[in-house]
Structure 1
Amino acid sequence: MFSFLKRMFGRDEPESAAIGRRGEREAEKLLKKKGYQVLARNFRSGRDEIDLICLQGKTVIFVEVRTRAAGALVSGYDSINRRKREALKRVCRSYFSIMKPKPLTLRFDVVEVEHEEGTVTQARHFADVPLFSKAANRGR
Protein backbone atom coordinates (compact mmCIF):
# COMPACT_ATOMS: atom_id res chain seq x y z
CA MET A 1 0.00 0.00 0.00
CA PHE A 2 2.79 2.42 0.83
CA SER A 3 4.36 1.93 -2.61
CA PHE A 4 0.96 2.88 -4.03
CA LEU A 5 0.95 6.07 -1.92
CA LYS A 6 4.46 6.86 -3.03
CA ARG A 7 3.50 6.50 -6.70
CA MET A 8 0.30 8.52 -6.23
CA PHE A 9 1.65 11.30 -4.07
CA GLY A 10 5.41 11.03 -4.43
CA ARG A 11 5.83 10.41 -0.68
CA ASP A 12 7.44 7.70 1.38
CA GLU A 13 5.55 5.77 4.01
CA PRO A 14 4.69 7.65 7.20
CA GLU A 15 7.45 7.72 9.83
CA SER A 16 5.15 6.00 12.33
CA ALA A 17 4.81 3.00 9.97
CA ALA A 18 8.59 2.80 9.57
CA ILE A 19 9.04 2.91 13.36
CA GLY A 20 6.40 0.19 13.74
CA ARG A 21 8.25 -2.02 11.25
CA ARG A 22 11.51 -1.47 13.18
CA GLY A 23 9.70 -2.54 16.32
CA GLU A 24 8.47 -5.70 14.62
CA ARG A 25 12.00 -6.55 13.45
CA GLU A 26 13.31 -6.00 16.99
CA ALA A 27 10.57 -8.24 18.41
CA GLU A 28 11.41 -10.94 15.89
CA LYS A 29 15.11 -10.81 16.85
CA LEU A 30 14.20 -11.08 20.54
CA LEU A 31 11.92 -14.07 19.96
CA LYS A 32 14.43 -15.87 17.74
CA LYS A 33 17.02 -15.55 20.53
CA LYS A 34 14.51 -17.33 22.76
CA GLY A 35 14.21 -20.19 20.29
CA TYR A 36 11.01 -19.20 18.53
CA GLN A 37 10.60 -20.11 14.86
CA VAL A 38 8.68 -17.54 12.80
CA LEU A 39 5.89 -19.13 10.75
CA ALA A 40 4.31 -15.93 9.39
CA ARG A 41 4.71 -12.17 9.49
CA ASN A 42 1.86 -9.67 9.24
CA PHE A 43 -0.80 -12.29 8.57
CA ARG A 44 -4.04 -10.67 7.42
CA SER A 45 -7.59 -11.84 7.37
CA GLY A 46 -9.92 -9.18 6.05
CA ARG A 47 -9.07 -5.99 7.92
CA ASP A 48 -7.49 -7.82 10.86
CA GLU A 49 -3.78 -8.48 11.22
CA ILE A 50 -1.42 -10.28 13.59
CA ASP A 51 2.22 -9.21 13.56
CA LEU A 52 3.99 -12.54 14.08
CA ILE A 53 2.98 -16.18 14.26
CA CYS A 54 5.65 -18.36 15.82
CA LEU A 55 6.32 -21.90 16.87
CA GLN A 56 8.10 -22.89 20.07
CA GLY A 57 8.23 -26.63 20.54
CA LYS A 58 4.70 -27.78 19.74
CA THR A 59 3.05 -24.51 20.73
CA VAL A 60 1.82 -22.03 18.14
CA ILE A 61 2.21 -18.49 19.44
CA PHE A 62 0.40 -15.46 18.07
CA VAL A 63 2.41 -12.31 18.80
CA GLU A 64 1.20 -8.72 18.80
CA VAL A 65 4.00 -6.15 18.71
CA ARG A 66 3.31 -2.73 20.21
CA THR A 67 5.87 0.00 19.53
CA ARG A 68 5.68 3.11 21.67
CA ALA A 69 7.81 6.15 22.39
CA ALA A 70 9.81 5.85 25.59
CA GLY A 71 7.82 7.47 28.37
CA ALA A 72 4.46 7.15 26.57
CA LEU A 73 1.49 7.60 28.87
CA VAL A 74 0.01 4.22 27.87
CA SER A 75 2.31 1.22 27.55
CA GLY A 76 2.15 -0.99 24.50
CA TYR A 77 0.81 -3.84 26.58
CA ASP A 78 -1.97 -1.68 28.04
CA SER A 79 -2.86 -0.22 24.64
CA ILE A 80 -4.53 -3.45 23.54
CA ASN A 81 -8.15 -2.52 24.15
CA ARG A 82 -11.29 -4.64 23.83
CA ARG A 83 -11.80 -3.82 20.15
CA LYS A 84 -8.19 -4.77 19.33
CA ARG A 85 -8.54 -8.00 21.33
CA GLU A 86 -11.61 -8.94 19.30
CA ALA A 87 -9.75 -8.23 16.04
CA LEU A 88 -6.81 -10.33 17.25
CA LYS A 89 -9.14 -13.21 18.14
CA ARG A 90 -10.67 -13.10 14.66
CA VAL A 91 -7.34 -13.16 12.84
CA CYS A 92 -5.93 -15.88 15.10
CA ARG A 93 -9.00 -18.04 14.49
CA SER A 94 -8.66 -17.47 10.77
CA TYR A 95 -5.03 -18.63 10.78
CA PHE A 96 -5.89 -21.60 12.99
CA SER A 97 -8.64 -22.66 10.58
CA ILE A 98 -6.11 -23.12 7.74
CA MET A 99 -3.44 -24.89 9.80
CA LYS A 100 -2.75 -28.53 9.08
CA PRO A 101 -2.13 -30.38 11.29
CA LYS A 102 -3.84 -28.51 14.10
CA PRO A 103 -1.55 -27.71 17.03
CA LEU A 104 -2.47 -28.97 20.47
CA THR A 105 -1.55 -25.71 22.18
CA LEU A 106 -2.10 -22.06 21.25
CA ARG A 107 -0.78 -19.04 23.07
CA PHE A 108 -0.88 -15.27 22.73
CA ASP A 109 2.16 -13.11 23.52
CA VAL A 110 2.83 -9.37 23.42
CA VAL A 111 6.17 -7.76 22.68
CA GLU A 112 6.39 -4.15 23.77
CA VAL A 113 9.11 -2.15 22.01
CA GLU A 114 10.16 1.31 23.18
CA HIS A 115 11.92 3.83 20.98
CA GLU A 116 13.38 7.31 21.24
CA GLU A 117 13.11 9.27 18.01
CA GLY A 118 12.90 6.04 16.01
CA THR A 119 15.80 4.26 17.70
CA VAL A 120 14.80 1.15 19.64
CA THR A 121 15.79 1.46 23.29
CA GLN A 122 14.11 -1.56 24.88
CA ALA A 123 11.99 -4.60 24.10
CA ARG A 124 9.92 -6.53 26.64
CA HIS A 125 8.27 -9.89 26.04
CA PHE A 126 5.04 -10.83 27.83
CA ALA A 127 4.29 -14.52 27.36
CA ASP A 128 0.92 -16.21 27.68
CA VAL A 129 -1.23 -13.09 27.79
CA PRO A 130 -4.94 -13.87 28.29
CA LEU A 131 -6.67 -13.48 24.93
CA PHE A 132 -8.37 -16.82 24.45
CA SER A 133 -10.59 -18.49 27.00
CA LYS A 134 -9.33 -21.75 28.49
CA ALA A 135 -12.03 -23.50 26.46
CA ALA A 136 -10.42 -22.31 23.19
CA ASN A 137 -7.67 -24.88 23.55
CA ARG A 138 -10.23 -27.66 24.09
CA GLY A 139 -12.01 -27.20 20.76
CA ARG A 140 -15.21 -25.65 22.11
Structure 2
Amino acid sequence: MLSSLKRLFGRKETESAAIGRRGEREAEKLLKKKGLMILARNWRSGRDEIDIICLDGKAVVFVEVRTRSVDALVSGYDSINRRKREALKRVCRSYFAKMKPRPITLRFDVVEVEHQEGTIGKVRHFSDVPLFSKAVNRSI
Protein backbone atom coordinates (compact mmCIF):
# COMPACT_ATOMS: atom_id res chain seq x y z
CA MET A 1 0.00 0.00 0.00
CA LEU A 2 2.78 2.43 0.91
CA SER A 3 4.57 1.76 -2.37
CA SER A 4 1.27 2.34 -4.21
CA LEU A 5 0.89 5.71 -2.50
CA LYS A 6 4.47 6.62 -3.36
CA ARG A 7 3.81 5.80 -7.03
CA LEU A 8 0.59 7.81 -6.94
CA PHE A 9 2.38 10.87 -5.60
CA GLY A 10 5.42 10.42 -7.82
CA ARG A 11 7.95 9.29 -5.22
CA LYS A 12 10.24 6.51 -6.31
CA GLU A 13 11.60 3.99 -3.90
CA THR A 14 15.38 4.18 -3.70
CA GLU A 15 17.44 1.12 -4.54
CA SER A 16 18.61 0.99 -0.94
CA ALA A 17 15.01 1.00 0.35
CA ALA A 18 14.05 -1.75 -2.12
CA ILE A 19 16.96 -3.91 -0.93
CA GLY A 20 15.91 -3.25 2.67
CA ARG A 21 12.36 -4.38 1.92
CA ARG A 22 13.70 -7.55 0.28
CA GLY A 23 15.78 -8.15 3.39
CA GLU A 24 12.68 -7.81 5.58
CA ARG A 25 10.84 -10.36 3.42
CA GLU A 26 13.76 -12.79 3.75
CA ALA A 27 13.80 -12.26 7.51
CA GLU A 28 10.07 -12.93 7.68
CA LYS A 29 10.50 -16.17 5.71
CA LEU A 30 13.21 -17.33 8.11
CA LEU A 31 11.12 -16.48 11.18
CA LYS A 32 8.09 -18.33 9.79
CA LYS A 33 10.29 -21.32 8.95
CA LYS A 34 11.39 -21.34 12.61
CA GLY A 35 7.74 -21.45 13.70
CA LEU A 36 7.17 -17.81 14.71
CA MET A 37 3.82 -16.24 13.87
CA ILE A 38 3.93 -12.75 12.37
CA LEU A 39 1.70 -10.25 14.19
CA ALA A 40 2.75 -6.99 12.51
CA ARG A 41 5.16 -5.59 9.94
CA ASN A 42 6.68 -2.12 9.94
CA TRP A 43 4.69 -1.08 13.01
CA ARG A 44 5.03 2.64 13.73
CA SER A 45 4.61 4.88 16.72
CA GLY A 46 5.33 8.46 15.82
CA ARG A 47 8.64 8.50 13.98
CA ASP A 48 9.80 5.18 15.43
CA GLU A 49 9.31 1.84 13.69
CA ILE A 50 9.88 -1.83 14.45
CA ASP A 51 10.31 -4.05 11.41
CA ILE A 52 8.53 -7.22 12.56
CA ILE A 53 6.53 -8.21 15.62
CA CYS A 54 5.84 -11.89 16.07
CA LEU A 55 4.81 -14.55 18.51
CA ASP A 56 7.11 -17.38 19.57
CA GLY A 57 4.96 -19.61 21.75
CA LYS A 58 3.72 -17.18 24.42
CA ALA A 59 6.59 -14.73 23.92
CA VAL A 60 6.08 -11.54 21.93
CA VAL A 61 9.19 -10.95 19.84
CA PHE A 62 10.22 -7.56 18.46
CA VAL A 63 12.54 -7.98 15.47
CA GLU A 64 14.87 -5.42 13.92
CA VAL A 65 16.06 -6.39 10.43
CA ARG A 66 19.41 -5.06 9.26
CA THR A 67 20.22 -5.55 5.58
CA ARG A 68 23.85 -4.86 4.75
CA SER A 69 26.23 -5.35 1.86
CA VAL A 70 28.61 -8.30 2.25
CA ASP A 71 31.52 -5.84 2.20
CA ALA A 72 30.03 -3.42 4.76
CA LEU A 73 32.51 -2.26 7.38
CA VAL A 74 30.01 -2.83 10.21
CA SER A 75 27.73 -5.86 10.47
CA GLY A 76 23.99 -5.40 10.68
CA TYR A 77 24.00 -6.62 14.27
CA ASP A 78 26.70 -4.14 15.27
CA SER A 79 25.08 -1.26 13.39
CA ILE A 80 22.39 -0.84 16.05
CA ASN A 81 23.80 2.12 17.93
CA ARG A 82 22.60 3.77 21.14
CA ARG A 83 20.26 6.16 19.30
CA LYS A 84 18.62 3.30 17.38
CA ARG A 85 18.30 1.25 20.60
CA GLU A 86 16.46 4.14 22.26
CA ALA A 87 14.09 4.43 19.27
CA LEU A 88 13.49 0.66 19.37
CA LYS A 89 12.72 0.80 23.10
CA ARG A 90 10.20 3.61 22.52
CA VAL A 91 8.35 1.77 19.75
CA CYS A 92 8.34 -1.52 21.68
CA ARG A 93 6.97 0.22 24.78
CA SER A 94 4.25 1.82 22.68
CA TYR A 95 3.18 -1.52 21.19
CA PHE A 96 3.32 -3.22 24.59
CA ALA A 97 1.11 -0.50 26.13
CA LYS A 98 -1.64 -1.28 23.58
CA MET A 99 -1.58 -5.04 24.17
CA LYS A 100 -4.48 -6.69 25.94
CA PRO A 101 -3.83 -9.07 27.61
CA ARG A 102 -0.21 -8.29 28.25
CA PRO A 103 2.26 -11.09 27.48
CA ILE A 104 4.37 -12.65 30.18
CA THR A 105 7.52 -12.69 28.05
CA LEU A 106 9.01 -10.12 25.67
CA ARG A 107 12.09 -10.61 23.57
CA PHE A 108 14.14 -8.57 21.15
CA ASP A 109 15.75 -10.29 18.15
CA VAL A 110 17.90 -9.08 15.27
CA VAL A 111 17.89 -10.59 11.80
CA GLU A 112 20.94 -9.71 9.76
CA VAL A 113 20.57 -10.05 5.98
CA GLU A 114 23.59 -9.85 3.70
CA HIS A 115 23.31 -8.87 0.07
CA GLN A 116 25.69 -8.44 -2.82
CA GLU A 117 24.53 -5.94 -5.42
CA GLY A 118 20.92 -6.58 -4.39
CA THR A 119 21.13 -10.37 -4.41
CA ILE A 120 20.29 -11.77 -0.98
CA GLY A 121 22.96 -13.93 0.61
CA LYS A 122 23.21 -15.09 4.21
CA VAL A 123 20.38 -14.50 6.66
CA ARG A 124 21.29 -14.76 10.36
CA HIS A 125 18.89 -14.72 13.30
CA PHE A 126 20.17 -13.46 16.67
CA SER A 127 17.65 -14.34 19.36
CA ASP A 128 17.20 -12.62 22.73
CA VAL A 129 19.49 -9.67 22.07
CA PRO A 130 19.89 -7.41 25.14
CA LEU A 131 17.65 -4.38 24.61
CA PHE A 132 15.36 -4.64 27.60
CA SER A 133 16.40 -4.86 31.22
CA LYS A 134 15.86 -8.09 33.18
CA ALA A 135 12.88 -6.42 34.84
CA VAL A 136 11.32 -5.62 31.49
CA ASN A 137 7.70 -6.31 32.42
CA ARG A 138 7.96 -3.97 35.38
CA SER A 139 9.75 -1.18 33.54
CA ILE A 140 8.32 -1.27 30.04
Q: TM-score, normalised by structure 1?
A: 0.93
Q: Identify the residue that residue 124 of structure 1 maps to in structure 2.
A: 124
Q: Identify the residue that residue 35 of structure 2 maps to in structure 1.
A: 35
Partners of 1:98 and 1:5 lie apart in 2 by 29
Q: Identify the residue that residue 95 of structure 1 maps to in structure 2.
A: 95
Q: Identify the residue that residue 46 of structure 2 maps to in structure 1.
A: 46
Matched, 1:73 2:73: yes
For residue 88 of structure 1, what is the amino acid of its counterpart?
Answer: L
SS in 1 for 2:135: helix
Q: Identify the residue that residue 26 of structure 1 maps to in structure 2.
A: 26
Deviation (angstroms), 1:125: 0.3
Aligned residues: 138
Deviation (angstroms), 1:71: 1.8
Partners of 1:121 and 1:134 lie apart in 2 by 34
Partners of 2:100 and 2:109 lie apart in 1 by 22
For residue 46 of structure 2, what is the amino acid of its counterpart?
Answer: G
Unaligned runs of 5+ in 1: none
Deviation (angstroms), 1:4: 5.1
Deviation (angstroms), 1:136: 1.1
Partners of 2:85 and 2:11 lie apart in 1 by 32
Q: Identify the residue that residue 14 of structure 1 maps to in structure 2.
A: 14
Q: Identify the residue that residue 85 of structure 1 maps to in structure 2.
A: 85
Unaligned runs of 5+ in 2: none
Question: Measured at CA, do residues 71 and 14 of structure 1 come closer, stay the same or move farther in structure 2, by a change above 3 Å?
Answer: same
Deviation (angstroms), 1:2: 5.1
RMSD: 1.3
For residue 30 of structure 2, what is the amino acid of its counterpart?
Answer: L
Partners of 1:73 and 1:45 lie apart in 2 by 30
Sequence identity of aligned pairs in percent? 76
